[in-house]
Structure 1
């Protein structure tokens, strides 16, 4: 099998002028051989760095996603009045700005819009704070859960989390290679497009560089994914910035114009300002708890800006202003925190 992989490596690793792109089938085969470690460690490392230098194509990303679909987990569909929102963020976490996605997810779930997240532990190359650590700090432990249990929580309370080491050990096995390579491989872009869910869904994926967005759009089109949103978010996440304009791409099959560009400014809604820095997980968790208790703190504007936007974006609120007000109400009246308490109790019983 390593001899077959050698041919893939020769194509992507022949240099800037002579390297060739993989076909979709070849990309799927290459990633499956790496995930199952049928390729040798030397080949895997060489491929990851060579593919980064070459730069992936949308076709190759589609093949990588085919491999994730073939070998990875997927939750069955749940009964819901709206598509499940799948938030995809960089697995190597955040190291400069404070993430607010857990509270955004709780507000959406409390409003009847189910949310599915996925990720692992601290990961190269950034080794930033991962979402699973924040959930644990909020009293929700997504580790050591079966897919059936995650499906139960998603069905009952509209919240779920696919924990990579537990649910997709083959992908977790690539972490050591990523650490030794020392650079974020194109595999990280695949994770931004992965949606481990079998029902109707709305994928929301963050990105940093415009060429990445173009590759993402091509890959999703090839895969038949027609309901997605791209966010030029903080550190490539789905969190909207407040100190600059938020740039979004909207792809919805039911709209007259399938692809639309949306640009928003938090300053237009009196929520602009400098981004809240991430200093430590302890400090961040104190801020998240304060927000969930409805207390005024420096993180509150970022939470309202994000949660309010998403309430409007997914159709729960009729306008962005209504979404901002609804987000504030769900925090001050304790509804979002109640959802957190219910999920805590349910997982504890399991």
Structure 2
């Protein structure tokens, strides 16, 4: 255990014996301090949208294809020409030092071990360069929370390019922080500095609540910002937080090279739709113009399958990975990805799909089951 400013961080480094990913939440709760755990697990208001994100996967059912003459499904895929061994990626998630002393560095190592794609947050516990250096041969994306200070944005984008980031994820659905009651109850303030804030001009994040952190972020984000970031970096810009076909097309028109369908895991606007429920209409509107990344509520291999069949090209998740990080460090992260890939491979076999391309063409049927 490492203690920083009175906050106890896990130092565990071990493979995990995982029954299923939902079971990790209670295990992680036992070792992550209350304030940190509340920040990680919590959603907005009464968590209605957070709960619906996972429940919504029951709105679509997989139609198995029998007599399909397949075995050993192939999970490999690619995005922007980057080869990947799994269609499951790490979503950008802030302050992973709340779960483990090595934070995003161990997450990057664990994701690299399975041949996956890592994305890191502006509000990471470790710097862009240090996270990349932890897994130097593995692809990473950088997620930008735009600041009101464009010089600060440029400094982050410059460092991301220098570190070899393959794309920029621009988050547009969090111009203010959602009303997160767990943080209020716990009077939560970040006990660990955020490396990217320390390096530049906005303080270090330590001792602040999430509302204070967001106060420095841009509340006004427009299509012009997408163009500006794309032109400044000459990297693909993926717009994250899209929940309607209209916004997807607007982002593409502004120069977005990718669409990221997400409601921020239910952490921002409570009362909005589950991300999976809006995915098919967005995919239909995008019509393969650019790749689509999807997250929010993913907990099973069958969820990954359904998201791919509904129009996603990659599927991301964060909370289960962070729980694995707390419980086992880089090896724990690796274990989480191996478990969801194992479940996905079983689903692909039983559904009669040999490749991820086959999954994308797999039929889904729809019926809204009662809870």
Q: What TM-score does the superposition give when structure 1 sets the normalisation length? A: 0.32
Q: What TM-score does the superposition give when structure 2 sets the normalisation length? A: 0.31
